[in-house]
Amino acid sequence: MKTVIEELTAVMEEAFMAAGYDGKYAKVGLSNRPDLCEYQCNGAMAAAKEYKKAPIMIAGEVADLLKDKDIFEEVNSVAPGFLNLKLSPVYLADYLGKMGKDECLGVEETGKGERIIIDYGGPNVAKPLHVGHLRSAIIGESVKRICRFMGSEVIADIHLGDWGLQMGLIMTELRKMKPDLVYFDEDYTLDYPKEPPFTLSELEEIYPRASARSKTDEAYKEEAMNDTFLLQKGDRGRTALWKHIMSVSIPDLKKNYEKLNVSFEVWKGESDSRPYITDMVNMMKDRGYAYESEGALVVDIKEETDVKEIPPCMILKSDGAALYTTTDLATIVQRVESNNPTRFIYVADKRQEMHFTQVFRCAKKTGLAAPQVKLDFLGFGTMNGRDGKPFKTRDGGVMRLETLLEDINDEMYKKIIENHDADENEAKETAAIVAMAAVKYGDLSNQATKDYIFDTEKFTSFEGNTGPYILYTIVRIKSILNKYEGMGNSLKGLTLAPALDDIGKGLMLELVKFNQVMINAYEELAPHKICAYIYDTANAFNRFYHETRILDEEDKKKQESYIALLIVTKRFLEKGIELLGFNAPEKM
């Protein structure tokens, strides 16, 4: 379906041409002055220069040709040359009705033909998930859903951090704890035990302890680096131990992501790029891309237009060890082989921007990614506490994801119990659903690249631009619809009638923006645009709700049309939150 703006522009273009002007001046946009009009066209001002005529004259001529068009309720030319437009309520109701009936809610699938691999989540195995990983999971999940809704084929890959120094640290610490473990015995040739030598909670304690010690104890750190090196070289005992770490951690990660309503088709990690590294490095050497510099192997990726220094991309360290860039490059090879994507999207902390610039340039230069393949980095800002500093626990430690979610859950539970006397289990279930919305909406409503302040008080509020407010609005609609049905009415086959007043029309005007919003959200990979849409829609709906007698309306036809409007509002709001990655409860 064409968007309202496209339809208006087409009508406008015809009028410009009929009046003797170039159609290129006929661009219509949303109004900057909602008090005066709903849409506007500023083309007469630009046309005035070409035709050497006063803009108001041009606008006047065009307006005259539009006055009797069914699509408009009002067309005004105003100084210095604006064309102010108001839609006819008949057209608006008809358009909204069509959107509501369409499977894609009136959205053209502009993403058709793309095959996208989206890389997000990126947890580091055996390290506790922290709030930074929360952002990647939340934003990535929403972007995935947006791309899918726009018709792209999308494969989500969690890209585990499973090959780095944390593995060596765990092994070193484990050796201090249990020096007799067979994994560390070079002479051991039998099969290794099937049972891991630690439990999940032990593992969770090992890493932080090891990490802390490595910061003050240089020899200890050396040891951990050596363990990492040996693991990467394929040492038998360490590989067996690594497998245990993976088998204990991954089910726990799966559980955590499931709780967040975040899911991946592919659970590969950095370690899966290993088989591709040697060939890739040889290719880069053979074709003359990679050369030795201070012992390390690097590829130059500077470009003439660079305004700042872009250092060469390091492929191997001087000891021959692989780096973060190496595994990311080799992962591109692996992904091209497995899925041949047309586009890659990476969602990670924006402080990794230089890393991705290097990886992307190197991949293009060396032909790992074909010239037409798109490589996009969606970098997000830091989640800060109310003091404006990176989010911490009360005692100043790194905030763990689980703790944060528990806090929000408790807060939400309190509010829900306060609000009405639900039974305990029901209130718990509802609290969990609303808490998820509070966290996700709180994050997604900000432009991803910006830092934002995680404010529990604000995010869990039922008022203002929050997840709970949106859910509250949806629940309100559900409750009216239930009551309406309870009065012996059916929700089927109702038609939208043209709005009777500005408030009803205001709601419809918000709703019909959906397809344009989706096109923009997809182009800019910007979930916050969907947040803005559902917030404006929720506000317009609540205004309508407060000003309109719905359930005690005596005129049946009128009431049916109100109910039809509620049904479509609910559909758009529900689609909106689904794209953001959460859902609404039945009651709250």
Nearest distance in Å: CB 349, ligand ARG = 6
- Residue with the shortest CB distance to ligand ARG: 122
Looking at beta carbons only, is 48 or 316 nearer to ligand ARG? 316
Distance between CA atoms of residues 471 and 573, nearest Å: 9
Looking at beta carbons only, is 344 or 582 nearer to ligand ARG? 344
Instruction: Tell which residue, 389, 560, 508, 535, has the closest CA to residue 92.
Output: 508
For ligand ARG, which stretch binds (CB under 6 A), given 4-12, 119-127, 176-184, 464-472? 119-127
Looking at beta carbons only, is 13 or 157 nearer to ligand ARG? 157
Told to check if 122 binds ligand ARG by CB under 6 A, we report yes
> With 0-12 CB in 10 A as exposed, 13-18 as middle and 19+ as buried, what is 152?
buried
Nearest distance in Å: CB 428, ligand ARG = 32
Nearest distance in Å: CB 118, ligand ARG = 10
Told to check if 522 binds ligand ARG by CB under 6 A, we report no
For ligand ARG, which stretch binds (CB under 6 A), given 118-126, 218-226, 438-446, 462-470? 118-126
Q: Residues 6 or more apart from 350 whose CB is under 8 A from it?
A: 379, 380, 381, 449
Q: Which long-range contacts (CB under 8 A, 24 or more apart) does 335-340 make?
A: 335/117, 335/157, 336/368, 336/369, 339/115, 339/117, 339/155, 340/115
Q: State the number of binding residues for ligand ARG (CB under 6 A).
A: 8
Nearest distance in Å: CB 162, ligand ARG = 9
Q: What is the residue-wise DSSP string for 109-162?
A: -TTTT-EEEEE---PBTTSPPBHHHHHHHHHHHHHHHHHHHTT-EEEEE--BB-
Told to check if 238 binds ligand ARG by CB under 6 A, we report no
Eight-state DSSP code of residue 36: T
Nearest distance in Å: CB 50, ligand ARG = 50
CA 178 to chain CA centroid, Å, is: 43
Nearest distance in Å: CB 328, ligand ARG = 5
Nearest distance in Å: CB 161, ligand ARG = 3
Distance between CA atoms of residues 53 and 55, nearest Å: 6
Looking at beta carbons only, is 26 or 231 nearer to ligand ARG? 231
Looking at beta carbons only, is 94 or 376 nearer to ligand ARG? 376
Q: What is the residue-wise DSSP string for 491-550?
A: -SS--PPPPSSHHHHHHHHHHTTHHHHHHHHHHTT-HHHHHHHHHHHHHHHHHHHHH---
Binding letters toward ligand ARG, positions 313-332, x by CB under 6 A: ---------------x----
Distance between CA atoms of residues 527 and 539, nearest Å: 19
CA 78 to chain CA centroid, Å, is: 41
For ligand ARG, which stretch binds (CB under 6 A), given 93-101, 116-124, 360-368, 419-427? 116-124
Nearest distance in Å: CB 356, ligand ARG = 8
Binding letters toward ligand ARG, positions 336-375, x by CB under 6 A: ----------x-x---------------------------
Q: Residues 6 or more apart from 554 whose CB is under 8 A from it?
A: none
Looking at beta carbons only, is 66 or 330 nearer to ligand ARG? 330
Site residues for ligand ARG, 151-190, by CB under 6 A, read 159, 161
Q: Which of 42, 124, 214, 271 binds ligand ARG (CB under 6 A)?
A: 124
Encode 53-90: b = buried (16+ Cβ within 10 Å), e = exposed: eebbebbbbbbebbeeeebbbebbbbeebbbbbbbebe
Nearest distance in Å: CB 124, ligand ARG = 5
Distance between CA atoms of residues 403 and 139, nearest Å: 20
Nearest distance in Å: CB 375, ligand ARG = 11
Q: Which of 38, 119, 227, 510 binds ligand ARG (CB under 6 A)?
A: 119
For ligand ARG, which stretch binds (CB under 6 A), given 9-17, 117-125, 210-218, 248-256? 117-125
Q: Which H or E element spans position 579?
A: helix 556-580
Nearest distance in Å: CB 294, ligand ARG = 25
Told to check if 141 binds ligand ARG by CB under 6 A, we report no
Told to check if 445 binds ligand ARG by CB under 6 A, we report no
Q: Residues 6 or more apart from 11 whose CB is under 8 A from it?
A: 66, 69, 71
Distances (CA, A) of 381 to 93, 128, 546: 41, 20, 38
Told to check if 144 binds ligand ARG by CB under 6 A, we report no
The dihedral built from the CA positions of residue 336, 235, 120 and 365, taken in this order, carries a sign that is negative
Told to check if 203 binds ligand ARG by CB under 6 A, we report no
Nearest distance in Å: CB 348, ligand ARG = 4
Nearest distance in Å: CB 442, ligand ARG = 21
Looking at beta carbons only, is 270 or 510 nearer to ligand ARG? 270
Q: At residue 496, what are phi and psi to the nearest 5 degrees?
A: -75, 130
Binding positions for ligand ARG, rule: CB under 6 A: 119, 122, 124, 159, 161, 328, 346, 348
